[in-house]
Amino acid sequence: TNTAWINVAVPNNRVVVVYGCWYDSGSPSVSVVRLEKGSGPMFEFQIESAYAEQENVLYFPSLATWRPQETILVRIVPRVTVAVGHRFGLHAVTAEPIKNRISGSD
């Protein structure tokens, strides 16, 4: 069964981009990550495909971007054969304006 791991709306004037994930175990407790918007799934990434290569930092094939007031929904599918307690995280960037200004060359 998949579990809603993150379910939150992006605040005004912010953009969130998720581009990968990491885990701290040779046998992590997560098998699949699903990135969704309020309107439906964006893509699904099989974490188990990286186990054989022993990679603990993974980059997704495309960027997942949520704009202001969109709902970020990240679901994970746990592995039942692995004990819970391993750390798992997402690589993400949040962008927001500092002030209402334009900078650059003329």
CA distance 40 to 62: 16
Contacts of 32 (CB under 8 A, 6+ apart): 2, 44, 45, 46, 47, 48, 76, 77
Low-confidence ranges of the chain (pLDDT < 70): 1, 26-28, 51-54, 80-85, 98-106
SS3 category, 48: helix
pLDDT at 16: 92
pLDDT at 18: 94
